[in-house]
Structure 1
């Protein structure tokens, strides 16, 4: 995947995640859409920064080829990443939406569970669609070169 496609992938992922998260929160909470939008944009920005920072530090401590990491290491990685993100985002959510820490925790946990499932489905779908498009383009090129 080249740089332009990586940017496309990331932007598409974040925009759809924001739209669906905000929509879900509007449906399941009593909060104003503008406050929820502000909250989710701030949290998405924090998540991007945390992703870079956490993975940099994690890789300093967990050496070796990333493709050789065990299932246990991958589970620990996800758990630590999400726990750290919740640690930073719960106070922000509580402040912006004027919630108790408990209510912010429950809301943020719901968003975290949704985003985890969404990320799995999005990336699986993207990978399969990408292969389909690449094969389709190759077929068209092969047909064009024959004609």
Structure 2
């Protein structure tokens, strides 16, 4: 397991680097000013962080009520991820449309592009982070000897 300090470094690094990459790229792809794309990315980041907390709290309570357990099977993990992204889309899409003065369909396309970017970015960021800041051997689970 990682320490609290390491988790904070990970989260802040993820958000900062993501904003520095996404805003100029989105500005280029969608043709909006860098400020507008940066603001949308920053607001999206804040909304995603708050939604993550609320959503996971609600999801765990629902699991506890329905199953008596918060452990997730693979199908539950897939549903968890899809419902999270769907909720985030519903929360963020109207804001994009309003701020940029575009239709909900255009905001939907932009939101899907943003989610796609962050999906790939999250994979690459976490891969790089784990190589730059490996988990110390003392923080790993002990080997069970079962093969």
User: In the alignment, which residue of structure 2 is the partner of 1:99?
Assistant: 102
Give the drift of 1:39: 1.3
Distance 1:109 1:11 in 2: 23
User: In the alignment, which residue of structure 2 is the partner of 1:140?
Assistant: none
Is 1:129 aligned with 2:132?
A: yes
- Is the 8 Å Cα contact of residues 60 and 70 (structure 2) preserved in structure 1? no
SS in 1 for 2:31: coil
Q: Which of the numbers 84, 89, 106 marks the counterpart of 1:86? A: 89
Give the drift of 1:65: 5.1
Alignment map for 1:9-24 (pairs within 5 Å): 9-24=10-25
TM-score, normalised to structure 1's length? 0.83
Give the drift of 1:84: 0.2
User: Hey, which bits of structure 1, 4+ residues long, moved more than 4 A?
Assistant: none
Unaligned runs of 5+ in 2: 138-147
Deviations 1:42-99 (A, max 9, x none): 1111010000000000011123353xx2211111011000000000100011111111
Larger proportion of helix: 1
Alignment map for 1:30-69 (pairs within 5 Å): 30-63=31-64, 64=69, 66=71, 69=72
Unaligned runs of 5+ in 1: 136-147
User: In the alignment, which residue of structure 1 is the partner of 2:78?
Assistant: 75
TM-score, normalised to structure 2's length? 0.83
Give the drift of 1:128: 3.1
Task: Compare CA radii of gyration and give the structure with the larger one.
Answer: 1
- Is the 8 Å Cα contact of residues 23 and 37 (structure 2) preserved in structure 1? yes
Task: Count residues in correspondence.
Answer: 132
RMSD (Å), alpha carbons? 1.5
